[in-house]
């Protein structure tokens, strides 16, 4: 069992209510680091969430079944500013189809290399309009299952 800190959560049963070909950003952005210094307090360091013990994992789970003829592409972006995260570079993505039932989980590891300070998800709707689907998304050390 994992303990999930709400500060590592992008979406908590967030309803993706959007028209086809539009995107919804996650309710939360994650700040990976504010100010990192070396052990002597001098040199500023750049955090790298993809390094270490296999790096961090972005977990996604369908909380409420999707509309029958729509699917969601969930992308994770990183940026240097919190207000512009979804205009940053894509770190990875997963796709959920209409056939994916509530409880379906997908994930990917953050890549190694420099990752900017802010992470945020954007959910794109493809197919018909989305009115009922909801999603959970969070950062963890491994593939995790949230508990309610």
Task: Please report, for the domain that includes residue 115, its CATH number.
Answer: 2.60.120.1110
Contact 132, 64 (CB under 8 A): yes
Q: Which residues contact 99 (CB under 8 A, 6 or more apart)?
A: none
Residues in contact with 105: Cβ distance below 8 Å, sequence separation at least 6, in sequence order: 59, 60, 61, 62, 143, 145
91: in domain: yes
On whether residue 119 sits in a domain, the answer given is yes
Q: What are phi and psi of 15, to 5 degrees?
A: -75, 130
Q: Which residues pair with 76 in a beta bridge?
A: 92, 121
Count: domains in the chain? 1
Please give the helix or strand (H or E) that residue 24 lies within, else none: strand 23-25
Q: What is the domain range of residue 84? A: 7-140
Q: Is residue 47 part of a domain?
A: yes
- Is residue 145 included in any domain, yes or no? no
* Residue 15: inside a domain: yes
What's the pLDDT at 10? 92
In a domain, 85, yes or no: yes
Region for 45 from its dihedrals, namely left if φ exceeds 0, alpha if ψ lies in -120 to 50, beta otherwise: beta
pLDDT values of the chain reduced to their tens digit, one per residue, 148 residues: 345 566 789 999 998 887 767 788 999 988 877 555 666 666 655 555 555 556 788 999 999 988 878 889 999 999 888 777 778 899 999 999 988 889 999 999 888 877 888 899 999 888 888 888 899 999 887 766 555 4
Are 122 and 94 in contact by the 8 Å Cβ rule? The answer is no
Evaluate whether residue 1 is within a structural domain.
no
Residue 84 belongs to some domain of the structure: yes
pLDDT at 104: 93
């Amino acid at each position: 069992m994992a303990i999930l800190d709400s500060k590592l959560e992008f979406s908590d049963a967030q309803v993706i209510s959007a028209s086809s070909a539009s995107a919804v950003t996650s309710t939360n952005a994650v700040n990976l680091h504010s100010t990192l210094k070396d052990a002597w307090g001098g040199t500023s360091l750049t955090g790298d969430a993809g390094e270490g013990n296999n790096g961090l994992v972005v977990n996604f789970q369908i909380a409420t079944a999707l509309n029958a003829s729509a699917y969601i592409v969930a992308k994770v972006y990183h940026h240097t500013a919190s207000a512009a995260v979804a205009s940053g570079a894509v770190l990875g993505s997963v796709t959920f189809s209409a056939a994916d039932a509530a409880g379906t989980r997908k994930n990917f590891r953050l890549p190694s290399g420099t990752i900017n300070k802010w992470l945020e998800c954007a959910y794109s709707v493809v197919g018909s309009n989305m009115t009922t689907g909801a999603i959970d998304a969070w950062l963890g050390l491994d593939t995790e299952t949230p508990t309610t």
